[in-house]
Structure 1
């Protein structure tokens, strides 16, 4: 860690900025005590669960929907991401080509329809989540990566996206960094949101529709009783014929879910607000969300009050603890701070106000999938691999369709019928993850065996190179 990074992290608050001191935090709903019956139980009060509750009630207002959340809405993964939103429902167009080339055209249509539904819900329910629809940039961090960006541009153009390919000079006019050598600017139906405000807005919408929401209500187990499932919580139980498991990286609901989903931690830094003079040093007048092409991907965006969010340093912990102690210390954020100042050396007078990590449900598909349990009475929808802010609406929609046996033709598509590959259990998962994280951290500088390892992991299904 450089002395600059050490100074910038000195007074950092180790808690998500999105959840810190916001006056709009809603009241906590009571926990469930005793028995209740429901037509549909949704487990998990993050984005997927909230979207599912809203869609289920809007489709059938008479449906009795219960939603349980282990902690508080937005305090799991949904209050921790970068909040960059795009149309893709398969972790980007390039990944969609990789996993479902035969479904690509229809997946593109579904992605645009999903974004229309996303925007419509914000409007109808008057959800203010600091949304800015300024597009997103994919930036090349070296001359060697320009071909990658050009391929992305050609792919997006073929599929009708409003995109612009920027050379080095044009890129730096958009966002001034000595690392940036070119960029793809995708201009429509993408942007940024305040994720916690979005989750709280969805919570209010669900409650207004008549959803029964119980917070601080962790699920303990599910028992199959034939015609229905008995879901036991800490202080109560729900009897229901249908359960939608929206537990994503936490993979709760059935022991087999975790065999295809690995929880990794994504580290995030938030700066203090930039002054007008500091903003002038970097430009960023169009305020796009940004992804770069480093092996250990970084992403960045501005907040409403002109802070820079900078994230993307992954970590893995044995047995996937809910709140790792290490991530409540400055240590995991030191390399990320170094990367920030390499990206923006002209901001050497800037300090970080917050640092935190969030759980990502990683799969070999790198996109949402569906698992069915208890003879079809329960469906798991998750595994967004980090692109879940808007894709969670799509996951909720098709999770509900599978659970209720819809005759939608999309359920016959490969994305809805198949699952990602199996992932080895512990301790092999931990060993493999540690080697992979180290290789990602050092591949761009040192290459060698690291590149060979990452190519091998890519062949197993994780597209790391």
Structure 2
């Protein structure tokens, strides 16, 4: 029996409702899943801070309590402890996007070395230095402030799905070697010593300065650190209107008002801060499954001796990693909803995850007795750059820093640092590099954005099986600036 692939666009519209014939293993695996992020479903979650009320003044207002906002708050206070910093979050810390990712971290600050070469070939050497410095700072903060985030530094593993993926590995191997990375190319036999799947034909192991973290624990630890440094944090305080008062900005925040000399809009896929931000940023949803903890016998079936974070070479890739208690996180099926709702209702039910569960069982058929405990989606910010960029507003007093299309857990620290430097008018030679002074190309508005996303995501879901017009369409979208293959 086969599985009818679920729609990867708005599944709550009549044209997208489909009758799905699921296999018995998929039905059983999803039967008892909780449709909420595993990372956030924890008794360790800290209590929310009180919402803002009344009026306050500050030097720097940060909008958004995800990774970029938290890192910016910490870096701002470390640079100038006397600076008055206020951070507001629309909901709770980590509940927007930062408590939802796969959280495989690496030195890349531009969505991978291959993407950095694509968009900024002239700055590539410097971006590599900046990436290593960023990871060193990331790890230093975790160590100095005692942040327990289940960190494991076992490297990244890119796996070829079938022989057709092997040239991709060779190209990535050559590129990484040329830029000083410690990498090992694995044939099919060698790969089985790391991870066993009948669909994997080879692998590329990047060994240094990459690994996995628990993203919610990291966000909660950064929140604690920011508060200890003197940052004032207000949750359940959504930003409303922003007014330019000349020397200052006035921000509505829930029931309160902030007047600030500068404001950093750390809103990533939510693209809040100025209406024009959305012209270059589209919110996609990335779906993720989490299994129950594997027994030692189940672990022996798949190997995974070195516990690397893993990406595969499928056109619409899947990624996977282990947690501290040997659950498998498996993600990578994209969706798009008209006008980017904050919490899409269809993603709180099983339909969007059926195809992802089928992909999991195709990847690990030896785990047909496994069950998924959690399934959720998270927002990612699609731009033609697929990496952080900066948009300046209100005469330079306001700055948006965002655009992470994945790979953002560690790169967000870099985005926060560069964003603060631009906002403060620092004399930093890195601000003259192309990545810091340019923006990605505009993306068409709705409804054209929705129609294009619907066609593109359907092509992504089926291109590896059917090819034809789907490959031609993906090639066209890639030529227009969004690299989908």
Indicate the TM-score class for this superposition, using the shorter chain for normalisation.
over 0.9
- 2:65 aligned with 1:54: no
In structure 2, the partner of 1:357 is: 377
In structure 2, the partner of 1:290 is: 310
- 2:40 aligned with 1:19: yes
Q: 1:339 aligns with which of 359, 374, 378?
A: 359
The superposition leaves residues 271-297 of structure 1 with CA deviations (integer Å, 9 ceiling, x where unpaired) of 000000000000001000000010111
DSSP-derived class of the 2:39 partner: helix
In structure 2, the partner of 1:206 is: 226
DSSP-derived class of the 1:78 partner: coil
- 2:87 aligned with 1:67: yes
Task: Summarize the alignment of residues 179-218 of structure 1 with structure 2, pairs less than 5 Å apart.
Answer: 179-218=199-238
1:233 Cα offset (Å): 1.4
1:452 Cα offset (Å): 0.2
In structure 2, the partner of 1:2 is: 23
1:407 Cα offset (Å): 0.5
- 2:483 aligned with 1:463: yes
DSSP-derived class of the 1:269 partner: strand
The superposition leaves residues 71-104 of structure 1 with CA deviations (integer Å, 9 ceiling, x where unpaired) of 0001110000001001000000000000000000
Task: Summarize the alignment of residues 89-128 of structure 1 with structure 2, pairs less than 5 Å apart.
Answer: 89-128=109-148
- Distance in 2 (alpha carbons) for counterparts of 1:3 and 1:380: 47
In structure 1, the partner of 2:388 is: 368
Q: Judge conservation of contact 2:322–2:328 (CA < 8 Å) in 1.
A: yes
1:32 Cα offset (Å): 0.6
Task: Summarize the alignment of residues 226-265 of structure 1 with structure 2, pairs less than 5 Å apart.
Answer: 226-265=246-285
- 2:431 aligned with 1:411: yes
1:221 Cα offset (Å): 1.3
- Distance in 1 (alpha carbons) for counterparts of 2:388 and 2:35: 29
Q: Judge conservation of contact 2:51–2:254 (CA < 8 Å) in 1.
A: no
- Distance in 1 (alpha carbons) for counterparts of 2:47 and 2:368: 40
- Distance in 2 (alpha carbons) for counterparts of 1:19 and 1:172: 33
In structure 1, the partner of 2:97 is: 77
- Distance in 1 (alpha carbons) for counterparts of 2:104 and 2:418: 22
- Distance in 1 (alpha carbons) for counterparts of 2:356 and 2:346: 15
- Distance in 2 (alpha carbons) for counterparts of 1:149 and 1:440: 20
- Distance in 1 (alpha carbons) for counterparts of 2:464 and 2:193: 26
1:23 Cα offset (Å): 2.8
- Distance in 2 (alpha carbons) for counterparts of 1:96 and 1:416: 13
DSSP-derived class of the 1:164 partner: strand
Q: 2:445 aligns with which of 425, 431, 440?
A: 425
- Distance in 2 (alpha carbons) for counterparts of 1:126 and 1:75: 22
- Distance in 2 (alpha carbons) for counterparts of 1:386 and 1:161: 21
Q: 2:471 aligns with which of 451, 460, 465?
A: 451
In structure 2, the partner of 1:279 is: 299
1:2 Cα offset (Å): 1.9
- Distance in 2 (alpha carbons) for counterparts of 1:234 and 1:112: 39
- Distance in 1 (alpha carbons) for counterparts of 2:251 and 2:336: 30
DSSP-derived class of the 1:19 partner: coil
In structure 2, the partner of 1:219 is: 239
DSSP-derived class of the 1:402 partner: helix
DSSP-derived class of the 1:197 partner: helix
DSSP-derived class of the 1:103 partner: helix
- Distance in 1 (alpha carbons) for counterparts of 2:254 and 2:371: 42
TM-score by length of 2: 0.95
1:28 Cα offset (Å): 1.1
In structure 1, the partner of 2:421 is: 401
The superposition leaves residues 222-256 of structure 1 with CA deviations (integer Å, 9 ceiling, x where unpaired) of 00111110001120100011000000000001000
- Distance in 1 (alpha carbons) for counterparts of 2:133 and 2:330: 29
The superposition leaves residues 110-141 of structure 1 with CA deviations (integer Å, 9 ceiling, x where unpaired) of 00000000000001110010000000101000
- Distance in 1 (alpha carbons) for counterparts of 2:435 and 2:272: 22
- Which blocks of at least 5 consecutive residues in structure 1 are unaligned? none
- Distance in 2 (alpha carbons) for counterparts of 1:3 and 1:404: 58
DSSP-derived class of the 1:420 partner: coil
1:464 Cα offset (Å): 1.0
Q: Judge conservation of contact 2:62–2:86 (CA < 8 Å) in 1.
A: yes
Moved over 4 A (4+): none
